[in-house]
Amino acid sequence: MLYIAMGTLAKEKAVKIVMLGAPGAGKGTQAKRIAEYYKIPHISTGDIFRANIKAGTPLGLEAKRYMDAGGLVPDEVTIGMLKDRIHEADCSEGYVLDGFPRTIPQAEALTEALAAEGTKIDAAVDIEVPDEAIIDRMEGRRSCPNCGESYHVRYRAPKTENICDVCGHALVQRADDKPETVAARLRVYHEQTKPLIEYYRGQGVLREVDGTQEMGEVFEAIQSAALTGPGDWS
């Protein structure tokens, strides 16, 4: 159970959270804040892929073959890497999933895998932002190709222009952050990923948050929804 004690959120069980929202809605940023607050790992599919490929694991090598050929990595490979990751010691108190699941079949596979262990997702947090606001946001995003840290020219600028605060590498604008690419990504999101909102609503764990607010306000709204929304962690 999660409960308030002297203004501090405490937890009595592992907390498993899925972040939902369109690309550019801010779910990655909020996932990191949630992870820091609850002291649980922030797990993104990109991080999982990079770690497995770098380590040369069988699943990582299989994923790399598909990626090098320009194809999509099959769900069973992604889910296999995810299952390995959430069984690591740092996930014993829970985790925040960012970028997975992306489709109903992936969500169903995750639900099945967790159910086999007698557990489930505790909350699916949907950060809602209009498409036009997302296009404006993503046009200003910059990322570090060396360490993966993310920035924004207006909302989260680096201390030195176009230089990563973490490792000092030059920042870049990813091709998929350009307006025409963002519009295409949003079409895919509405077709494939947005149905997850109704999937998790049906499971009673959906938390919907207005993502057009300031980042701090969005985080506070997530905390409030997590404690008072339908399907409370209990």
- Active site members: 27, 102, 141, 174, 185
Residues 6+ apart with CB under 8 A from 14: 40, 91, 92, 93, 94, 119
The residue count of the chain comes to 234
Burial bucket for residue 128 (CB in 10 Å: 0-12, 13-18, 19+): middle
Separation CA 201–CA 93 (nearest Å): 24
Do the Cβ atoms of 201 and 230 come closer than 8 Å? no
> DSSP alpha helices (H): ranges in 12-57?
27-38, 45-55
